[in-house]
Amino acid sequence: MLELKRPPQNTRKEITYVRRDGADLALHLWRPKNLKGAIFYFHGLQSHAGWLWEVGPQYADNDIAFFVLDRRGSGISDGERHDLPDAETILADYAAALATVRRIIGEDTPLQLFGHCLGGSFLAALMHHPEFDVPYDSAVFCSSWLGKLHATLSEEQRAALAADDGTELWDAGLKSADFTDNVKYQHYIDHDDLAVRALTRRSRATLLELEKLYLQPRRELPDVPVSYVSGLTDPIVDLDDAHKTFIEMTNGRGGIIKLPTHQHYLYYTDVRTSLVTWSSTYALIPGLDHHG
Amino acid sequence: MPKTDPTPDSRTDSRTDSKKDSTKASTEWQKHWKARRGRFIEECRQAHERLLADLKCPTTAQDRVLADIIGVSAASLHWKEHNYDVLASDKASFRKVLPIMRYDDFAEVIERETRTKGGTLTCSPVLRWLKTSGTTGTPKRVPYTLHWLLTYRIPAMMAMWGTYLEHHPELLAHPYATLDTQTVREDVSDFVHGVEHQAVSNRHPQINTRDWNPPWYEAPWFGPATPTSHEGRMYHRIRHLLGRNLHYISSINPSTLISLRDLIEAHGKSLVRDLREGTVDGEPWGEPDPAAADHLAAVLEKPGFSLKDVWPSLTLYSCWLSASAGLYQSKLDAVFPGVAKLPFMSCGTEGVTTIPVDDTPHSQPLAISQAFFEFVPAEVPLGELVERGEPVETLLFDEVEAGRDYHLIMSQGNGLYRLWTGDIYHVDRIEGGTGGVPWIHFVRRDGVFHSFTGEKITEAQVTQAIEQGVAEQGLDMGLYMCGPKWGEPPHYVALVESHGSDKGVDAELSGRIDEALKTINIEYASKRDSGRLRPIEVVTVPHDAINAYVEGRRAAGNATQYKYKPFQQDIDFVADIVGD
């Protein structure tokens, strides 16, 4: 499985479109020369595939095909900015993209689903969706406050949120300094004209709906390795609460990993390579054929 | 420049610690040099041999390059949106379907690519944006992709150094044998959507283990700790190499080499002091070297000393030697007496055009494995045709003729296809006859001419006329600068460096050059004969006058990219050099 001595690989970056209900969704792929595993990355509220220009080639150099779907309304995908459609549409978009990914990588390549921040909530919802049937081999939740709305809002507040169909914008209050202390990345985040920093109020009702899918599960998760990874602390996420939700969701069989940073966006910190290396390995190992 | 020395008492302790640090750093970079040397030589040798093999099978090489460009581009959004992925599959369809492009024609797709960082223009990750001056004052953004780095740009550097090493193996005789000013390592402070935007000559930071990594990569005069100002960086380079058996100084621009010598003269006292005290810029570094200090002090006493005086061990220098750079030759001869020379490759930020494979100074083979090349005869008004979107017939490498000038169009592995570079090359000869590789040299930039009344004087024509007139007058010449002066009627003014500068010769020289220009440019002759132009006015100036002016105007940063331009669009330089 491992080549211990080789030059840097001439990896590729490709963009294909997943056609969905009149919307073209951009599926970015950092393609390795020798494809041995794959990761499908669920980006958070603000980011998009363009944020991953450094880790994409790193994964590909590890023989990992690294896929990122610019969610509807994000990155270079079609769709209303700042306004999420209903939960079913979002999850169907992801399911369609993952079906495309499976077609590209084949049935036997181990596939890891990797959700960052809010992307972790999309991932958890998709994994628990009764109709989601694309096979995967591992899952990673990264710096993701799973069940945040349920944890921070009362029942009455959640009911009000669920009924809110307003289109005025709700500012997520994201600060680049919470994501990274590297000024290069801070500057990029602050000036990224593709970034989404606010959502319509009705979009938050969608987020609540997504949380319900994994907090009130209607299906068992497949028996594949699942882990939660974050910094030692996180300025945006209540890690204790996130861990609690994660442990309950995975019936106590998931792993919890902490990397030595206090920033939120691990890929823009000094632990980037550690995270890429660990998650690459975590994606590849389930592909070992013990019958070989 | 060198700081005032601190008082002896206050510096003693920190000096001891710093000395330890500097000794450790000194050891570390030499460890890297020793560990890297053998592999570097082998990589350069292999790249050089691959280039020679491609030059023997040029059609195969061009076919391979075009197939590679199509392979890395076809699945990109840009190609799919224009159906190029379906329509362009070979030399004929590629040239029929894809238009000839100027950099600005790529502006929109490059803007999109800055956000996706790969997948829009080509299917290779964009690792860096290369910065170079654009036509509108906005710096260009040339995509530096992983594919381009691995397949083209680094192999080109390796092949050239393979040539250098083949002819002068002594340049890696020991860690202090080579002073490389071709490339620098500078911290980058400019970004395009998070991605570094920097000059191609800045090789910092190293992207991967196949990125440019010469043995001196960690040397104290090469690393990012050196000052970024031209003078500061040069001072460090000089200081670290003084007292060493330096064999080779590499440069891109000849002016850098001239400047190196002049800076030794200008900062001689500081250099002597630094050597004597074991300091660099007044800060502790290594051991005092009184012998080197004495040697430099003696050299500084000699008027017009050469770099060979400074480093008697010098055996080689390299830089651009053709086109306007060739005007530096007499200065280079004075600075490097008896020292061998090798040319730098013809290249720009957008790509490599020729790579030296031997010691021929003024002509190099087309870099057949670096790009897919097309040519258009220089007399074709390519700019006008491209502007109007008219189809232009192009020639392939095996269709050009020796003795003629051509516009160069190149398609690069970074996605900039059919790029009209604006450079005009002269074909010197065809290696091995029909079907062989053209040996070419850069002549001038297209459009670098001036016209008061339709004469379209080009830089090459002025150069030729001045060289001819100066030779007829029995003078020597160094650099020149020429520009238009409006009047009733207007005329051109040229300043020419010469050891024989004298107001008494200027009138006769002007007449000779005017006659030469009439012969070279018949439109100029027509306008002169009809009184629409006054004769060119030539003023000889002391030998270093223009060089000093050029160096004085050298931009504070990015000095590696600075280019001396003999042909100016105004005559502001005249007042600066000779007064009113």
Summarised one tens digit per residue, pLDDT across range B316-345 is: 999 998 877 777 888 899 999 999 999 999
Chain B residues in contact with A184 by the CB 8 A cut-off are 191, 194
From chain A, the residues in CB contact with B187 under 8 A are none
| Cross-chain Cβ contact B123/A8 below 8 Å | no
Out of B75, B147, B195, whose CB is closest to A53? B195
Task: State pLDDT tens for residues B490-501.
Answer: 899 999 999 988
Q: How far apart are CA B220 and CA B320, in angstroms?
A: 26
User: Total structural domains in chain A?
Assistant: 1
Tell whether the model's pLDDT for residue B13 goes beyond 50: no
Instruction: Say whether residue B167 is in contact with chain A using an 8 A CB cutoff.
Output: no
| Residue A233 located in a structural domain | yes
Closest-CA residue to A39 (of A270, A227, A265, A188)? A227
CB-closest option in A11, A51, A192 to B146: A11
A5 domain-assigned: no
Among B112, B123, B126, beta carbon nearest to A14: B123
Determine the residue among A27, A52, A53 to mutate to test chain B binding: the one whose Cβ has the most chain B Cβ atoms within 10 Å: A53
How far off is chain A from B120, nearest CA to CA, in Å? 7
**Any CB–CB contact under 8 A between A191 and chain B?**
yes
* Identity of the residue in A7, A184, A192 whose CB atom sits nearest the CB atom of B209: A7
Report the percentage of chain A scoring pLDDT > 90: 95
Cβ contacts of A11 on chain B, cutoff 8 Å = 125, 146
B455: closest CA of chain A, how far (Å): 49
Longest dimension (CA), chain B: 79
Letter for the amino acid at B554?
R
Average pLDDT over residues B124-134: 90
Q: What pLDDT score does B6 carry?
A: 31
pLDDT tops 90 at residue B349:
yes
Closest CA–CA distance from residue A200 to any residue of chain B (Å):
25
Q: Write the CATH number for A78.
A: 3.40.50.1820
- Please tell me which of the candidates B123, B193, B208 has its beta carbon nearest to residue A12: B123
Give contacts of B205 with chain A, Cβ < 8 Å: none
B348, β-bridge pairs: B351
pLDDT confidence tier of residue B466, bands split at 50, 70 and 90: very high
- Could you tell me the pLDDT band of residue A57, with boundaries at 50, 70 and 90? very high
What pLDDT score does B433 carry? 84
Give the model's pLDDT for residue B555. Answer: 52
Question: Does the pLDDT of residue B12 top 80, yes or no?
Answer: no
Question: Which chain B residues have a beta carbon less than 8 Å from that of A12?
Answer: 72, 118, 123-125, 147
Q: E strands along B446-578, which residues?
A: 449-450, 457-458, 480-485, 491-497, 537-541
Residues within 8 A of A (CB atoms), B 124-153 only? 124-127, 146-147, 150-151
How many beta-carbon contacts under 8 Å exist across A and B?
A: 74
- Of A28, A51, A191, Cβ closest to residue B119: A28
Please give the pLDDT value at position B9: 35
pLDDT confidence of B434, banded at 50, 70, 90? Answer: confident
Q: Contact at 8 Å (CB) between B450 and B459?
A: no
Token pair listed for B461: 């024509």
Place of tokens 């040069």: B234
Q: Side by side, which strands form the sheet with B316-319?
A: B178-180, B248-250, B316-319, B340-343
Q: State the pLDDT at residue A25.
A: 98
- Burial of residue B529 (CB within 10 Å: 0-12, 13-18, 19+) is exposed
Q: Is A251 a domain residue? A: yes
Q: For the ranges A75-89, B115-129, B298-312, B518-532, which has the lowest average pLDDT?
A: B518-532
Element (H, E) at B508: helix B503-520
Q: How confident is the model at residue B100 (pLDDT cuts 50, 70, 90)?
A: very high
B238–chain A nearest CA distance, Å: 33
Task: Return the pLDDT at B457.
Answer: 84
Judged by CB atoms closer than 8 Å, whether chains meet at B124 and A76 is answered as no
Grade residue A64 by pLDDT with cuts at 50, 70 and 90: very high
Distance from CA of A70 to the nearest CA of B (A): 11
Taking an 8 Å cut-off on Cβ atoms, the answer to whether B116 and A8 are in contact is: no
- Cβ of A131 under 8 Å from any chain B Cβ? no
**The tokens of A148 are what?**
């945040």
Q: Tell me, what's the pLDDT at B455? A: 78
Q: Per-residue pLDDT averaged across A40-64, rounded?
A: 97
How would residue B8 be classed by pLDDT, with cut points 50, 70 and 90? very low
Asked if residues B144 and B126 have their Cβ atoms less than 8 Å apart, the reply is yes
Amino acid in the structure at residue B465? A
- Residue ranges covered by each domain of chain B: 8-46+150-343, 54-144+365-445, 449-578
Q: Which residue of B has its CA nearest to A60?
A: B125
Residue A175 forms contact with B (CB below 8 Å): no
Measured between alpha carbons, how far is B367 from B364 in angstroms, rounded to an integer?
8
Q: A50, B116: Cβ pair inside 8 Å?
A: yes
- Residue of A5, A9, A10, A267 for testing the chain B interface, max B β-carbons within 10 Å: A10
User: Angle CA(B571)–CA(B576)–CA(B580) in degrees, nearest 5?
Assistant: 75
- At B3 the pLDDT is 35
- Average pLDDT score, chain B: 90
Q: Which of B81, B85, B115, B148 to mutate to test the interface with A (most CBs of A within 10 A)?
A: B115
* CA of B457 vs chain A CAs: smallest distance (Å): 46
Residue A257 lies in a domain: yes
pLDDT at A92: 98
Residues 77-96 in A contacting B (C-alpha not used; CB under 8 Å): none
- Give ipTM to 2 decimals: 0.95
What's the DSSP call for residue A5? S
The pairing of beta strand B438-445 with beta strand B457-458: unpaired
**Residue A105, SS3 per DSSP:** helix
**Neighboring chain B residues of A49 at a CB cutoff of 8 Å:** 116
Q: Which of B356, B334, B361, B360 is nearest to B345 (CA)?
A: B356
B194–A8 C-beta distance less than 8 A: no
Q: How confident is the model at residue B436 (pLDDT cuts 50, 70, 90)?
A: very high
Residues of chain A with C-beta less than 8 angstroms from the C-beta of B147: 10, 12
The average pLDDT across B236-242 equals 96
**Does any CB of chain A come closer than 8 Å to the CB of residue B210?**
yes
Q: What is the mean pLDDT of residues B338-358?
A: 96
What pLDDT digit, counting tens, does each position of A193-225 carry? 999 999 999 999 999 999 999 999 999 999 999
* Residue-number span of the structural domain to which A245 is assigned: 12-287
- Chain B CB contacts of A13 below 8 Å: 116-119, 123-126
* Phi-psi region at B574: left, alpha or beta (left = phi > 0; alpha = psi -120 to 50): alpha
Is position A6 within any domain? no
- Give residue-wise pLDDT tens across range B455-464: 778 888 899 9
Query: Is B205 part of the contact surface with chain A (CB cutoff 8 Å)?
Result: no
The predicted model gives B396-419 an average pLDDT of: 97
Closest Cβ–Cβ partner in A49, A57, A188 for B193: A188
Average pLDDT of B474-492? 89
Tell if the CB–CB gap between B125 and A49 is shorter than 8 Å.
Answer: no
B570-579 pLDDT, tens digit per residue, is 888 999 898 7
pLDDT tens, residue by residue, A110-156: 999 999 999 999 999 999 999 999 999 999 999 999 999 999 999 99
Task: Give the residue-averaged pLDDT of B278-301.
Answer: 95
Tokens of B296: 């430099």
Give B554 or A202, the one with higher predicted confidence. Answer: A202
Fold of B449-578: GMP Synthetase; Chain A, domain 3 (3.30.300)
CA–CA distance, B302 with B293 (Å, rounded to integer)? 15
Chain B environment of A28 (Cβ under 8 Å): 116, 119
Option in A30, A188, A194 nearest B125 (CB): A30
Contacts of B121 in chain A (CB under 8 A): none
Opening angle at CA A25, ends A19 and A26, nearest 5: 120
Half-sphere exposure of residue A249, counting CA atoms within 13 Å on the CB side?
Answer: 30
- Beta carbons of B210 and A8 less than 8 Å apart: yes
Q: Min CA distance, A32 vs chain B (Å)?
A: 11
**What residue in A sits closest to B194 (Cα-Cα)?**
A188
The percent of residues in chain B predicted with pLDDT above 90, rounded, is 72
